Chain A
Amino acid sequence: MKHHLRNSIATLAMFSAMGSTALAEDIKIGMIVTLSGPPAALGQQIVDGFQLALDQKDGKLGGQSIELIVEDDELKPDVALLKATSLVERDGVDIVVGTVFSNMLQAIFKPIVQSETFLISPNAGPSTFAGRNCNPYFFAVSYQNNQNAEISGLVANEEGYENVFMMVPNYQAGRDNIEGFKQTFNGTVTDEVLTPLGHQDFSAELARMSTSGSDAAYIFMPGGMGVRLVKQFDNAGLSESMKFLSVFTTDETTLPGQKDAAVGMLSAGTWAPDMPNDANQAFVSAFEAKYDYVPGSYAMQAFETANLIDSAIAKTGGDMSDKDALRGAIKAAEFTSVRGNFAFNNNHYPIQDFHMTKVVKRDDGKFHTSFVRTIATDYADSFAQDCKM
Chain B
Amino acid sequence: MSMTLFLILCLNGVQYGMLLFLIAAGLTLVFGVMGFINLAHGVQYMVGAYLAFFFVQLTGSFFLAVVLSLGAALIIGLLLEYFIFRHLYTRTHLDQVLATFGIIIFLNELAKVLFGPATLSLSPPELLSGSIQLTETLRYPVYRLVTIFIGLAVAVGLFFAVSYTRVGMLIRAGATTPEMVSALGVNIQQLFMIVFGVGAMLAGFAGVIAAPIFAVEPGMGDNILIVAFVVIIIGGVGSIGGAFVAALLVGLIDTLGRSLATMVLSAVFNPSFASQIGPALASMLIYILMAAILVFRPKGLLPAKGANA
Contacts and interface: CB of A to CB of B under 8 A. Distances in A.
B59 interface: no
Interface in B81-139: 112, 116-121, 123-124, 129, 131, 137-139
A259 interface: yes
Given A204-B258, A236-B139, A227 B119 contact: yes
Interface in A26-74: 37-41, 44
Contact of B118 (A205, A208, A238, A256): A256
B117 A237 contact: no
B199 interface: no
Contacts of B12: 201, 203-204, 207
A170 interface: yes
Interface string A189-201: 0001111101011
Contact of B214 (A193, A200, A204, A253): A200
Contacts of A38: 117-119, 217-219
Interface in A218-237: 223-224, 227-228, 231-232, 235-237
B223 interface: yes
A257 B5 contact: no
Contact of A211 (B131, B138, B219, B278): B138
Contact of A227 (B112, B131, B143, B215): B215
B141 A211 contact: no
A145 interface: no
A254 interface: yes
A211 B5 CA distance: 7
B9 A223 contact: no
B41 interface: no
Given A201-B214, A208-B5, A257-B215, A237 B280 contact: no
A41 B116 contact: yes
B4 interface: yes
B213 interface: yes
B172 interface: no
A207 B131 contact: no
Contacts of A211: 2, 4-5, 137-138
Given A204-B12, A207-B138, A227-B119, A40 B112 contact: yes
Interface in A167-214: 170, 192-196, 198, 200-201, 203-205, 207-208, 210-211
A115 B138 CA distance: 57
B141 A235 contact: yes
A321 interface: no
Contact of B119 (A196, A236, A254): A254
Nearest to B5: A211
A227 B258 contact: no
A258 interface: yes
B8 interface: yes
B9 A207 contact: yes
Nearest to A201: B16
Interface in B221-256: 223-224, 255-256
A235 B143 contact: yes
A198 B131 CA distance: 25
A40 B2 CA distance: 41
A179 to B, nearest CB: 12
B13 to A, nearest CB: 8
A309 B175 CA distance: 66
Contacts of B5: 207-208, 211
Contacts of A195: 258, 279
A241 interface: yes
A235 B119 contact: no
Most buried by B among A207, A227, A228: A207
B53 to A, nearest CB: 11
Contacts of B119: 38, 41, 223-224, 227-228, 254, 257
Contact of A204 (B9, B118, B129, B141): B9
A150 B215 CA distance: 30
Interface in B186-228: 213-215, 217-219, 223-224
A258 B119 CA distance: 9
B219 A37 contact: yes
Given A204-B12, A208-B5, A231 B215 contact: yes
A4 to B, nearest CB: 58
Contacts of A231: 121, 215
A224 B117 contact: no
Given A38-B219, A194-B279, A204 B255 contact: yes
B48 to A, nearest CB: 15
Interface of A: 37-41, 44, 170, 192-196, 198, 200-201, 203-205, 207-208, 210-211, 223-224, 227-228, 231-232, 235-238, 241, 253-254, 256-259
30 contacts: A38-B119, A38-B219, A40-B112, A41-B117, A170-B279, A192-B275, A196-B283, A200-B214, A203-B8, A203-B255, A204-B256, A204-B258, A205-B259, A207-B12, A207-B259, A208-B259, A211-B2, A211-B137, A211-B138, A227-B121, A228-B215, A232-B213, A235-B124, A235-B129, A235-B143, A236-B140, A237-B131, A253-B118, A257-B120, A259-B121
Given A224-B215, A228-B119, 12 more contacts: A37-B219, A170-B279, A170-B280, A196-B283, A203-B8, A203-B255, A204-B255, A211-B137, A227-B215, A228-B215, A235-B131, A235-B213
